[in-house]
Structure 1
Amino acid sequence: MEIKKRSAFKDPVQDIAWFENWVKTLEQTNDRQYQRIQLQTSLGRTQVWGLNLDDETLETLVIFPGARTTGLFWDFDNGLDNFGLKLRIYLVETNGLPNLSEGNTPDIQSLGYGEWAAEVLGQLKIQQAFVAGASFGGLICMKLGIVAPEKIKAAFLLNPGCLQPFSLSLKNLYYNLLPIIAPSPKNVAKFLDKAVFCKPTHQLSPSAEKLIIDYEVFALTRYQDNTQKPYYMDEQLTQVTVDTYLLEGDKDLLFPYEKSIANAQAKISTLKGVKVFENVAHGIETYAPALAYVGELIKNTVKGTEKK
């Protein structure tokens, strides 16, 4: 695969040690330990975290995170429990984001990320799975849905970054650029309050919020981020043939929900459902009712398959 961009930690030894300590803190806070898998892929080393991987009788869910996050964001405050059923869960650390995977990335507008995702599932010996992606991760799900639809039982897109261009509203640009220009805990907290969460409906515990602030300051100051950003896939979306469900927060500044819904309905012929959550912002993967809804969809899909 042709490498388009390369991102990396500024001091790999020191920064990876920091990240490992952050993971340990999350594990202690959640009172659980994540299984670890390292793969060698066409983009270099790819890190995968897992839960319940030894029970092959469970349904499998593969999760791809948003930009400038790690898949572990999905488990703040034991968020993965909110699915409401036991699953084999793989949290794939997308190459090019601030995590333990290498920073090599394909051209964002190619199908390279889909080829990589199919490679990851192949190496994990996953024949077919449910897949979910938040923001950037939604784009990965759709790329995979084009490259290897046979590997997907259903795809769940949470405030995805592939259904419209990034919003250029002054409010959105201000709160997104503020922590990039001046990456302090105070400015990161302001970005989180205005763009990621919608308090009091959509918020984390104080301990989880500290973890996300620490991570964001770390990612902004220690990671040389050259990765291309999500884009509107437009006509590429017409090639998607997998059952797809769209979950939107009505307070998402980055990708306003009305336009995302309209474009999904126009371009994805296999769109099976749309759910809008009130007073929920961009970080919808941390919102308990959204994950509970995904869990219900998985249960219903499995029941429907068993009846056939």
Structure 2
Amino acid sequence: MSSANYSRYKNPQQATEFNDMWARHVQDSNGLIFESVTVLTTWGKTVVWVHTPKRRVYETLVFFPGFNSSALTWAINRSLAGLSKNYRLCLIEINGQPGFSDGLSPSINTDEYGIWAQQVLEQLGVARVTLIAHSLGALISLKVCRMAPQLIKRAILINPAGIQSLTLSFHLLRYYWLAYHAPSHESVQSFLREVVFSPTYTDIPSAQEKLLIDFQINAFSNFQLTSWWHLALPKEELLAIKTPLYMLLGAQDKLYSYQATLERSIQYLPSLVSITVLPTLGHGVQTCPSVPPALKALLTH
């Protein structure tokens, strides 16, 4: 592997201490406890957060986070509370991203992330899982759906990367630049509110929003990320996917235009079952109260 594919924390000890404390706060404040399971892949160790309910398990849901994010983001604002009673939840930390997995990153514009995801899913020991994935995680899901369809029952993709290329206006880049070069509560909060979420999104308690902000401050200040710019997946790759696909798209997404994603998905994804547009939501939607009911509806489809 090329050294260019290594992401790393500049201060590993500080990162470990922060991440462990942050993970405890996320779980404690949201009433959901996960077991940390480590699996070995070609790209090193991958951490999977596993929650198994006491009641009968209907199926396993596998969650992939978005770019520059921890998989535990899915649990913030009690977003998984309604699913935790009847589903086994597996939250996968993406290699090469800040958080808990190793820093060696699969190459994003090759099949390597698909191979990595296949290796992780095989070690979970459960066939025919449902993938629920956001942004970068959705791009990875598209790859593994094409490469290992036998492992996947269906995939729910939320504001997916990979259908189209990332677009960043000068206005949005300004918020990102300020958060990256001068990470503080104020600059990161502005970045999240103006770029990642919709500016109209206020349905999150301040303590839960602080969990998101604190993680990003630590990532921006301490994590050196490998090259992450990606291209849209070729139409031949999209056409080859046979796994049933469902989409949730935020109409206020400023990073991936939902209209462009919708149009290319209809054109090149023959296994696409449905697209749900959430009118008031932006790119980052995992912690939004309207998303869990939408997921539940798709899971019983």
> What's the TM-score once normalised by structure 2's chain length?
0.94
User: Is 1:118–2:124 an aligned residue pair?
Assistant: no
Within 5 Å, which residues of 2 pair with 1:187-266?
187-201=187-201, 203-235=203-235, 236-266=237-267
What letter is aligned with 1:292?
P
The equivalent of 2:278 in structure 1 is 277
Within 5 Å, which residues of 2 pair with 1:1-308?
5-52=5-52, 57-83=57-83, 86-201=86-201, 203-235=203-235, 236-300=237-301
More helix by share: 1
In the aligned structure 1, how far is the partner of 2:267 from the partner of 2:71?
Answer: 29
Change (3 A) 1:44 1:54: farther
Change (3 A) 1:237 1:54: farther
- Structure 1 residue 82 displacement after superposition: 4.1
- Structure 1 residue 144 displacement after superposition: 0.6
Assess if the C-alpha contact under 8 Å between 2:115 and 2:144 holds in 1.
yes
Mind listing any 5+ residue stretches in structure 1 that lack a counterpart? 301-308
What letter is aligned with 2:182?
A
Deviates more, 1:79-88 or 1:144-153: 79-88
- Structure 1 residue 234 displacement after superposition: 2.9
Identity %: 29
In the aligned structure 1, how far is the partner of 2:174 from the partner of 2:263?
Answer: 26
In the aligned structure 2, how far is the partner of 1:110 from the partner of 1:198?
Answer: 31
Mind listing any 5+ residue stretches in structure 2 that lack a counterpart? none
Change (3 A) 1:76 1:96: same
- Structure 1 residue 47 displacement after superposition: 0.3
Three-state SS of the structure 1 residue aligned to 2:80 is helix
- Structure 1 residue 262 displacement after superposition: 0.8
In the aligned structure 2, how far is the partner of 1:5 from the partner of 1:53?
Answer: 37
- Structure 1 residue 199 displacement after superposition: 5.0
Assess if the C-alpha contact under 8 Å between 2:238 and 2:269 holds in 1.
yes
In the aligned structure 1, how far is the partner of 2:280 from the partner of 2:213?
Answer: 21
Deviating runs (4+, > 3 A) in structure 1?
Answer: 1-4, 53-57, 82-85, 199-203
Deviates more, 1:120-129 or 1:283-292: 283-292
Cα displacement string for residues 104-147 of structure 1 (whole angstroms, at most 9, x for unaligned residues): 11221111111111111111102110001101000011011111
Cα displacement string for residues 260-289 of structure 1 (whole angstroms, at most 9, x for unaligned residues): 111111111111111110110111122222
In the aligned structure 1, how far is the partner of 2:22 from the partner of 2:283?
Answer: 23
Assess if the C-alpha contact under 8 Å between 2:66 and 2:134 holds in 1.
yes
- Structure 1 residue 152 displacement after superposition: 1.1
- Structure 1 residue 171 displacement after superposition: 2.6
> What's the TM-score once normalised by structure 1's chain length?
0.92
- Pairwise CA RMSD of aligned residues? 1.9
